[in-house]
Amino acid sequence: MTKPQKFKLKNGLRVILVPEPQNLTTTVMVSVEAGSEYETKNINGLSHFLEHMCFKGTHKRPTAMDIASELDGLGAQYNAFTSQEFTSYYAKAKNENAGEILDVVADMYLDPTFEHGEIEKERGVIIQELNMYEDTPMRKVADLFMDVVYGDQPAGWDIGGSKDVIRKLTRDDFVKYRSKHYLPQSTVVTISGGRATKELLQKAEGYFKELPSGKKGTKPKTKESQKKPAELVSFKDVDQSHLVLGFRAFDVYDERKYALQVAADILGGGMSSRLFQKVREELGAAYYVRADADLYLDHGLFAMAAGVEHEKIDMVLKATLKEFDRLKEEKVGIQELKRAKEHLIGNLFMSLEGSDELGSFYAAQEIFGLKLSTPQEFAKKIDRVTIDQIQSVLRQIVKRNRLNLAVIGPFKKRSFLDILKG
């Protein structure tokens, strides 16, 4: 795989070229350092709402249909996503149409009109999206977990915001927020795939040199404070209880992250993982069970998630805590360590076969201010993780005073703290 090439334009905007001459497609992605953690309480959900509005019309393409029909006519796949710490817009098409999708994505990012009528219509769409997530407990429980860990601060708020806030947001809110965050120095354009060429770099420079400059709005520092296990149990009459159980970790810059990622894979990274074997195969209590290390700019999590039979939730919690402790107290076997590393590396390589995922891989690194590492360099760091490093990081993290639980299920006035305290 060709190493990425990074360029910085005169206005501070960064462009990353990831050439893959053998790839049949090219992806253009524009990412910006703006997400829910950059918001205040009275505009929570604006980053995500703004992402939607960029698809609703520009001066060159006045309607959502103008944008969609042009991209569809190019045979493109296109979308956007908002996370806690950045927002990305992208389009992917066959190589011959790379220049055209760059033109459309740049126009959407640089010149949204925020037409009043479209804001009002999209308000309803956003609220329906929030309703959809409320009706999807497998996803909603992750939001509750962020709430129980971080509470009433940006890291604990829902990316989509609340319906009350969404109903109140105005065109002026979009314009002000955009002027604080959608700036050259906080924008990254990633072009990956078969036509990631200097020609497209020059086109991107032509488009984005007009992006207005300004002083970037900052993200408030996430406050970490916990002395004992915490829980959030939400009643819902569902056929399956959904839970997330895990510990506070550290930020994305911490070199212990490679050992933590391997530990997460051993715990719940595949069908041979400890939790899959214990919770699904042995207890027959769940269909899905997984574990992950999710690391951010100034905070992080090491957690598992599962959808379980109501009557077996106590059993699952106890078994899971036992597996967390066992991973901390007992050294991992050599074969299990090797299997987890190969699983991590193999899944990463396969996930990057598409030009879109490849672009996202490098865009996220650049947004976080990390040194751009190729998949092969990442694989080497994973391969260097030792048994002692895994045990060391878990001894620092897997502690009851860092433990949190979120549950959605048919439980009224039910607490699981007795199990969490051990």
CA distances from 224 to 108, 150, 159, 260, 300 (A): 37, 7, 19, 19, 10
- Say if residue 365 is in the same domain as residue 264: yes
For residue 153, is it within any domain? yes
For residue 298, what are the contacts with CB-CB under 8 A and spacing of at least 6?
221, 222, 251
- Say if residue 253 is in the same domain as residue 203: no
pLDDT digits (tens, 9 = 90+) for 172-192: 999 999 999 999 999 999 999
- Say if residue 249 is in the same domain as residue 394: yes
- Say if residue 299 is in the same domain as residue 386: yes
Tokens of 299: 């905070």
Number of domains in the chain: 2
Instruction: Give the torsion sign (CA, 250, 253, 256, 261).
Output: positive
- Say if residue 199 is in the same domain as residue 304: no
pLDDT value at residue 119? 98
pTM value is 0.96
Whether 231 is a known active-site residue: answer: no
pLDDT averaged over every residue in the chain: 97
Report which DSSP code applies to 277.
I
- Say if residue 95 is in the same domain as residue 234: no
Confidence of residue 422 (pLDDT cuts 50, 70, 90): confident
pLDDT value at residue 210? 86
- Say if residue 281 is in the same domain as residue 161: no
CATH number of the domain where residue 126 is located: 3.30.830.10
Q: Exposure of 271 by Cβ count < 10 A (0-12 exposed, 13-18 middle, 19+ buried)?
A: exposed
For residue 214, is it within any domain? no
Q: Which of 51, 118, 122, 231 is catalytic?
A: 51
Instruction: Give the torsion sign (CA, 399, 317, 333, 263).
Output: negative
For residue 307, is it within any domain? yes
* pLDDT, average across residues 282-293: 97
pLDDT at 1 over 80: no
pLDDT digits (tens, 9 = 90+) for 203-244: 999 999 989 999 999 999 999 999 999 999 999 999 999 999
pLDDT digits (tens, 9 = 90+) for 238-261: 999 999 999 999 999 999 999 999
φ, ψ of residue 382 in degrees (nearest 5): -65, -40
For residue 421, what are the contacts with CB-CB under 8 A and spacing of at least 6?
228, 229, 400
For residue 75, is it within any domain? yes
Which among 208, 242, 267 is the end of a domain? Answer: 208
Q: Please compute, for residue 293, the number of CA atoms within 13 A of its CA located in the half-sphere on the CB side.
A: 24
* pLDDT, average across residues 403-407: 98
pLDDT digits (tens, 9 = 90+) for 41-86: 999 999 999 999 999 999 999 999 999 999 999 999 999 999 999 9
Rounded-to-integer distance, Cα 380 and Cα 258, Å: 10
For residue 53, is it within any domain? yes
pLDDT value at residue 33? 98
* pLDDT, average across residues 303-307: 98
| Helical spans, DSSP H, in 46-154 | 46-53, 64-73, 98-110, 116-134, 137-150
pLDDT at 337 over 70: yes
- Say if residue 254 is in the same domain as residue 143: no
- Say if residue 235 is in the same domain as residue 204: no
For residue 213, is it within any domain? no
Confidence of residue 276 (pLDDT cuts 50, 70, 90): very high
- Say if residue 299 is in the same domain as residue 196: no
* pLDDT, average across residues 346-355: 96
* pLDDT, average across residues 304-317: 98
Distance of alpha carbon 340 from its chain centroid, rounded?
A: 22
Rounded-to-integer distance, Cα 10 and Cα 180, Å: 19
pLDDT at 125 over 90: yes
- Say if residue 178 is in the same domain as residue 235: no
Tell me the residue range of the domain where 161 lies: 5-208
- Say if residue 203 is in the same domain as residue 314: no
For residue 135, is it within any domain? yes
CA distances from 371 to 14, 178, 263, 377, 378 (A): 14, 27, 23, 11, 11
